[in-house]
Amino acid sequence: MTRMLIIGPPGSGKGTQAARISERLGVVAISTGDIFRENVKNETPLGVEAKKYMDAGDFVPDSVTNSMVRARLAEEDVQDGFLLDGYPRTAAQVTELDDILRENDSTLDVVLQLTADDEELVRRLLGRARLDGRTDDNEVVIRHRLDLYHEQTEAVVSQYESRGIVTRVDGIGAIDEVTERVMSALKVTR
């Protein structure tokens, strides 16, 4: 059984690697973005609440995010492990996740941090924006997102570092190369 988080800056390949890790380890990948979209689509009470913030371009408050993650981690398919992508993002969310796991008599096994040079990420994200025709992803916006990542994630990573469960992997390179580095770091031979 594996219970893990994947953390990394925008453009580091978290989503791609989360899908590959999930498949290799046989655990469900849980993206908070997917949880938000599912709740909004199904017009759940939490989805209706989250949509108000999302439509305004604001962050969904911790209370709503925590409730959605709590509900998702209570589902049957996570009993054999999970990979969380996009949560926790703040120190307060770390505390909430600890409470959720404690209630289920479990703990995290590993926090995988994909690392990458900011300048390389800016190049990568600008290229992706051009390919996808995303005019909202310009250099100023991308650098702001990277700054937010560094500000918010430092506290989260340091909390898990103090527990000795952080594994860092270079997220730059061909997708298959990064996957193999991840599997090697996680000591997975499958």
- Going by their DSSP bridges, the two strands 81-85 and 2-7 should be labelled as parallel
* Nearest Cα to Cα of residue 160 among 68, 79, 82, 91: 91
Average pLDDT, the chain: 90
134 is catalytic: yes
pLDDT greater than 60 at residue 63: yes
Which comes out higher in pLDDT, residue 47 or 56?
47
Q: Judge whether 124 and 179 are in contact, CB under 8 Å.
A: no
Question: Is the per-residue pLDDT at 101 higher than 90?
Answer: yes
Q: Distance between CA 87 and CA 9 in Å, rounded?
A: 13
Q: pLDDT tens digits, residue range 12-43? A: 999 999 999 999 999 999 998 888 888 889 99
Q: Mean pLDDT over residues 159-164, rounded?
A: 95
- Quick one: how far is CA 37 from the chain centroid? 15
Q: Which residue has the higher pLDDT, 176 or 36?
A: 176
pLDDT computed for residue 190 by the predictor = 46
- 127 pLDDT exceeds 50? yes
Catalytic residue among 128, 143, 168, 181: 128
Residue list for the binding site for AMP: 32, 37, 58-60, 86-89, 93, 134, 145
Asked if 129 and 175 touch (Cβ cutoff 8 Å), the reply is no
What H or E segment, with its residue span, contains residue 149? Answer: helix 139-161
pLDDT over 90 at 155, yes or no: no
Q: Is 124 a catalytic residue?
A: no
* pLDDT above 50: residue 103: yes
The pLDDT confidence band at residue 145, using thresholds 50, 70 and 90, is confident
Per the annotation, binding residues are 11-16, 32, 37, 58-60, 86-89, 93, 128, 134, 145, 173
Q: Would you state the pLDDT for residue 57?
A: 65
pLDDT at residue 189 in the model: 54
Domains along the sequence of the chain with CATH: 2-185 (3.40.50.300)
* 10 vs 95, higher pLDDT: 95
